[in-house]
């Protein structure tokens, strides 16, 4: 390994690249074309992110529920306030929407005021009949008023199903076929059919129609991800290349860096297609991430090339030294960055494992592209002009380096006290962090579909499905009187829980049959007594139809019952309390020795997945720290150097965590990525500084102060350049409409800024304070590899 990464090896690499320029460029072009052919296999996720492993008990329970009742998230709802329906004509227009949607192949059935079934007792035929409440379009406002009176006062079965108990908002339920819910057909139906229809009717008739439901939310959310990829790419490219130009003041250097990262982005899309990974809210970040991480590679390589040209003006020697002197250092920094992402592979979450796999592959790829393409392109170009080298003499950069040296030289105690105070404040802030397992918290709050979610949540007490599966352990057990009473008791508890909506189950239908038996009198909307059941049973046996909605709430054997309720969007702490309260009631009503009851549903699975993910990402971050510590030990052969190098990289993570607590940013799947990403990137500066520090120690015969200040001056400028690029590069994520992406961008940017200051102020201060305890030949042994090559005069 030592030989592999020796200076001689990098000399060999430099000769290989520069002597085979045409072959390498051709290979890069061919690989790019080959990966471009894989773009067609890129596909966007049609399901929610499952944060749990397949064999997790919560997932197994959810899959058990799906095996009995099929896909639960197949409901799209349309809503309209009564005030919007000013006349019977508006009402007819509203009904026409449901009639039209019912004709689509993707729709199983609709339940709306257009075809509202009413259960009626037929005395002559001794059976129940199902008749439509409206058989044809209304012709007068009197009919409209009569219908509303009938619906709101006489049909409690439809309370919080068709009309809201709070404000009588009407809604239409569209049940998609279960086999299309998680396919592209759902996307095409929502975007190509439903959306244009609703928009056209809203504009033509002046009716404000609200739309929601999991299939609709998922489709528009996914489309928003697709729309933002292009915006992210353009923003990241413009901002990072703009900063690059500001530093270098060279259109040529800027163009070369743009070409390099664009190739990297093309490879990223190709790798996603090649691996057949779906594009999710996380993998969509990889292409702009490659731009943000790739530009610093370009800065190191181009800056070194220009420094060499300024020294001796020999292009061949300059290009050879770019590869030999910067190649190893950038390889090490890219490996540590890739390691930060690669730790996600070990989280047992498919979503994160795919993100970590592609990101780590792409980071190594952009390093290889940079190392090969930049020197080769420059080899065909004339030498840079004097104006292109002006940035190397900028006084304000020199002023910044002087300030750092002055702080480290004269104010070390102040640096330690400030670090300690910030650490204490951060720890206090960490205790204020809350956890969020909300399905909708990261959704774009400015979009209409998010506002519609809140509209339905206000009117119907929730939109996120929560399912209760009751196993009576016997065939036809659900319809037994005692079990119906137990189901009803549980429903009453759910109704009393303010975060949950009025539930749907077989109980509602049984109550409706009693009401129908008594001529439709709403006073009798209740469970029938034993005697009443004797009279109602023959009517049900003779009944030829059923209200289609209720077929989904008892399985074909009559053994399993399903209760569906909807949850409000709430914090994880409150959700846990609601779940515990509900679980307590379930255990009281359905004894475990006689019944099996599962509490499941998408919202609950997501919340459990968030908690699982947090635990795994703590392990992932710990693994990243251990891996990088071992890496530093292998490089520098000094245990004390490991401790010194970790402090300035862990402190920024704690500061960021403290900030999250103070400003109210919760721990959630998007924000817990911050720490592993930031740690993997920030440790790069430490590697650059310590590598140069060791080189200075040897050159200065172990003169510690001189070595620290020399390393600070040599690496300070490049660390400042790359940190600024990374800061603004990750800041581009804040233009996202997704709250999680905004938080990720802002937090990583802040962490990297803190990390730069820690590596430029705290790290050299510690090296000076510890002095002989660290920097001696016994404890600071010869490294396993030569990270930075010797100076030019030493080479010769």
What confidence tens digit (pLDDT) does each residue in 453-509 have?
A: 888 888 887 777 888 999 998 888 888 889 889 999 999 999 888 888 888 888 888
Please give the average per-residue pLDDT across 633-654, as a whole number.
Answer: 78
We report the CATH number of the domain holding residue 315 as 1.20.1640.10
Residue 784 is assigned to a structural domain of this protein: yes
Residue 438 is assigned to a structural domain of this protein: no
Residue 437 is assigned to a structural domain of this protein: no
pLDDT, tens digit, 9 for 90 and up, residues 277-307: 888 777 877 888 888 888 888 888 887 888 7
The whole domain housing 267 covers 7-48+220-431+606-795
pLDDT, tens digit, 9 for 90 and up, residues 134-150: 878 888 989 888 888 88
Is 64 within 8 Å of 598 (Cβ atoms)?
A: yes
Answer yes or no: do 277 and 350 share one domain. yes
Residue whose C-alpha is closest to residue 515's, from 162, 115, 121, 153:
121
Answer yes or no: do 209 and 127 share one domain. yes
Q: Which of 364-368, 445-449, 719-723 has the highest mean pLDDT?
A: 364-368
Question: What's residue 794's pLDDT?
Answer: 40
Q: What is the mean pLDDT of the chain?
A: 80
Q: Which two tokens stand for residue 317?
A: 């020697």
Report d(CA 714, CA 693) in Å as an integer: 9
Answer yes or no: do 571 and 713 share one domain. no
- Count of the separate structural domains present in the chain: 2
Task: Say if residue 435's pLDDT is above 80.
Answer: no
Q: Which two tokens stand for residue 793?
A: 């005069």
Q: Which two tokens stand for residue 422?
A: 């910030």
Which are the contacts of 113, defined by CB distance < 8 A and separation ≥ 6? 91, 94, 95, 98, 133, 134, 147, 151, 162, 170, 172
Report d(CA 121, CA 535) in Å as an integer: 12
Q: Which of 555, 588, 605 is the last residue of a domain?
A: 605
175 pLDDT band, cuts 50/70/90, is confident
Q: Which residues pair with 279 in a beta bridge?
A: 44
Answer yes or no: do 632 and 563 share one domain. no
Task: State the pTM of this model.
Answer: 0.74
Report d(CA 130, CA 722) in Å as an integer: 72
Q: Which two tokens stand for residue 262?
A: 């664009």
227 pLDDT band, cuts 50/70/90, is confident
Answer yes or no: do 573 and 643 share one domain. no
Please give the average per-residue pLDDT across 230-245, as a whole number.
Answer: 82
Continuous segment of H or E residues that includes residue 352: helix 350-379
Answer yes or no: do 13 and 81 share one domain. no
Residue whose C-alpha is closest to residue 539's, from 563, 524, 519, 569:
519
Answer yes or no: do 41 and 144 share one domain. no
Answer yes or no: do 556 and 699 share one domain. no
Residue 274 is assigned to a structural domain of this protein: yes
pLDDT, tens digit, 9 for 90 and up, residues 83-131: 888 888 888 888 888 888 888 888 888 888 888 888 888 776 577 778 8
Report d(CA 55, CA 33) in Å as an integer: 39
Answer yes or no: do 612 and 505 share one domain. no
HEC string of 649-688 equals HHHHHHHHHHHHHHHCCCECCCCCHHHHHHHHHHHHHHHH
Residue whose C-alpha is closest to residue 325's, from 688, 723, 568:
688
Q: Which of 588, 605, 622 is the last residue of a domain?
A: 605
The beta-carbon contacts of 694-698 under 8 Å, at least 24 apart in sequence, are 694/636, 694/780, 694/783, 695/788, 695/790, 697/775, 697/780
Report d(CA 631, CA 671) in Å as an integer: 26
| Mutual angle of helices 214-248 and 448-460, in 10-degree steps | 140
Nearest-5° Cα angle at 195, 189 to 201: 130
Answer yes or no: do 494 and 392 share one domain. no
Q: Which residues pair with 77 in a beta bridge?
A: 173, 212
Q: Which of 586, 605, 624 is the last residue of a domain?
A: 605
pLDDT, tens digit, 9 for 90 and up, residues 689-748: 877 777 777 777 777 788 888 888 777 777 787 788 888 888 888 888 777 778 888 888
Task: Say if residue 541's pLDDT is above 70.
Answer: no
368 pLDDT band, cuts 50/70/90, is very high
Residue 436 is assigned to a structural domain of this protein: no
Lowest mean pLDDT among 188-202, 473-487, 542-556: 542-556
Residue 145 is assigned to a structural domain of this protein: yes
Question: What's residue 138's pLDDT?
Answer: 87
Which are the contacts of 401, defined by CB distance < 8 A and separation ≥ 6? 712, 713, 716, 717
pLDDT, tens digit, 9 for 90 and up, residues 765-788: 888 887 655 555 555 555 444 444
Residue 637 is assigned to a structural domain of this protein: yes
Residue 781 is assigned to a structural domain of this protein: yes
Strands 43-44 and 278-279: parallel
Is 324 within 8 Å of 10 (Cβ atoms)?
A: yes
Answer yes or no: do 110 and 77 share one domain. yes
Answer yes or no: do 209 and 283 share one domain. no
pLDDT, tens digit, 9 for 90 and up, residues 47-81: 666 667 777 888 888 888 888 877 667 888 888 88
């Amino acid at each position: 390994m030592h030989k592999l990464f020796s200076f001689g090896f990098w000399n060999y690499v430099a000769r290989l690249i520069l002597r085979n320029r045409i072959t390498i460029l051709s290979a890069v072009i061919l690989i790019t074309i080959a990966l471009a052919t894989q773009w067609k296999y890129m596909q966007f996720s049609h399901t929610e992110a499952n944060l749990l492993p397949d064999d997790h008990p919560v997932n197994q329970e959810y899959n058990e529920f799906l095996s009995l009742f099929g896909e639960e998230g197949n409901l799209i709802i349309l809503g309209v306030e009564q005030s919007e329906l000013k006349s019977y004509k508006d009402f007819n227009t509203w009904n026409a929407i449901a009639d039209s949607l019912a004709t689509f192949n993707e729709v199983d059935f609709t339940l709306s005021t257009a075809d509202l079934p009413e259960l009626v007792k037929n005395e002559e035929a001794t059976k129940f009949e199902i008749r439509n409440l409206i058989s044809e379009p209304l012709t007068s406002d009197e009919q409209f008023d009569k219908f509303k009176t009938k619906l709101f006062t006489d049909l409690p079965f439809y309370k919080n199903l068709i009309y809201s108990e709070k404000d009588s908002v009407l809604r239409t339920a569209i049940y998609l076929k279960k086999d299309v819910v998680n396919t592209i057909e759902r996307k095409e139906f929502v975007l190509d059919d439903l959306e244009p229809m609703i928009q056209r009717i809203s504009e033509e008739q002046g009716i404000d129609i609200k739309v929601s439901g999991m299939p609709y939310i998922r489709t528009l959310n996914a489309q928003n991800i697709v729309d933002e990829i292009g915006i992210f790419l353009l923003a990241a490219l413009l901002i990072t290349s703009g900063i690059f130009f500001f530093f270098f003041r060279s259109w040529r250097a800027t163009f070369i860096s743009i070409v390099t990262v664009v190739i990297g982005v093309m490879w990223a899309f190709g790798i996603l297609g090649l691996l057949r990974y779906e594009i999710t809210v996380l993998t969509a970040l990889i292409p702009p991430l490659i731009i943000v991480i790739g530009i610093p590679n370009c800065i190191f390589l181009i800056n070194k090339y220009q420094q060499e040209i300024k020294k001796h003006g020999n292009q061949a020697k300059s290009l050879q030294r770019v590869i030999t002197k910067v190649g190893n250092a950038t390889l090490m920094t890219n490996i540590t960055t890739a390691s930060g992402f690669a730790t996600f592979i070990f989280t047992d979450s498919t979503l994160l494992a795919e993100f970590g796999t592609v990101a780590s592959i792409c980071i190594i790829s952009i390093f290889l592209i940079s190392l090969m393409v930049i020197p080769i392109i420059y080899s065909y170009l004339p030498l840079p002009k004097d104006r292109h080298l002006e940035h190397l003499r900028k006084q304000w950069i020199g002023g910044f380096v002087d300030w750092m040296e002055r702080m480290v030289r004269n104010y070390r105690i102040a640096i330690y006290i400030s670090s300690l105070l910030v650490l204490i404040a951060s720890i206090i802030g960490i205790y204020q962090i809350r956890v969020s397992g909300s399905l909708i918290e990261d959704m774009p709050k400015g979009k209409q579909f998010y506002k519609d979610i809140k509209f339905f949540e206000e009117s119907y007490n929730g939109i996120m499905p929560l399912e209760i599966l009751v196993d009576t352990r016997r065939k036809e057990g659900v319809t037994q009187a005692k079990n119906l009473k137990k189901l009803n008791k549980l429903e009453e508890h759910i109704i009393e829980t303010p975060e949950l909506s009025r539930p749907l189950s077989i109980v509602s239908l049984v109550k409706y049959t009693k009401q129908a038996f008594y001529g439709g009198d709403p006073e009798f909307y209740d469970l029938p007594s034993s005697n009443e059941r004797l009279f109602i049973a023959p009517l049900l046996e003779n009944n030829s139809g059923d209200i289609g909605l209720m077929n989904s709430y008892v399985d074909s054997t009559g053994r399993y019952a399903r209760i569906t309720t909807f949850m409000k969007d709430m914090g994880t702490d409150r959700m846990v309390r609601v779940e515990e309260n509900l679980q307590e009631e379930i255990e009281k009503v359905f004894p475990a020795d006689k019944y099996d009851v599962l509490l499941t549903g998408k919202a609950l699975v997501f919340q459990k997945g968030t908690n699982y993910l947090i635990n795994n990402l703590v392990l992932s971050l710990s693994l990243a720290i251990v891996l990088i510590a071992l890496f530093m030990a292998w490089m520098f052969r000094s245990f004390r150097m490991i401790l010194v190098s970790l402090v300035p990289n862990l402190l920024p993570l704690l500061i960021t965590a403290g900030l999250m607590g103070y400003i109210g940013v919760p721990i959630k799947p998007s924000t817990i990525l911050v720490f592993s990403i930031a740690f993997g990137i920030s440790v790069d500066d430490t590697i650059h500084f310590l590598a140069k520090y060791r080189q200075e120690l040897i050159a200065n015969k172990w003169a510690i102060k001189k070595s620290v200040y020399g390393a600070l001056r040599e690496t300070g400028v490049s660390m400042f350049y790359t940190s600024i690029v990374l800061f603004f590069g990750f800041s581009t994520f804040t233009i996202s409409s997704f709250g999680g992406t905004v938080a990720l961008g802002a937090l990583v940017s802040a962490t990297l800024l803190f990390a730069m200051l820690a590596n430029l102020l705290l790290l050299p201060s510690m090296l000076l304070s510890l002095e002989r305890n660290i920097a001696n030949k016994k404890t600071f042994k010869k490294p396993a590899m030569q990270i930075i090559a010797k100076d030019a005069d030493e080479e010769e």
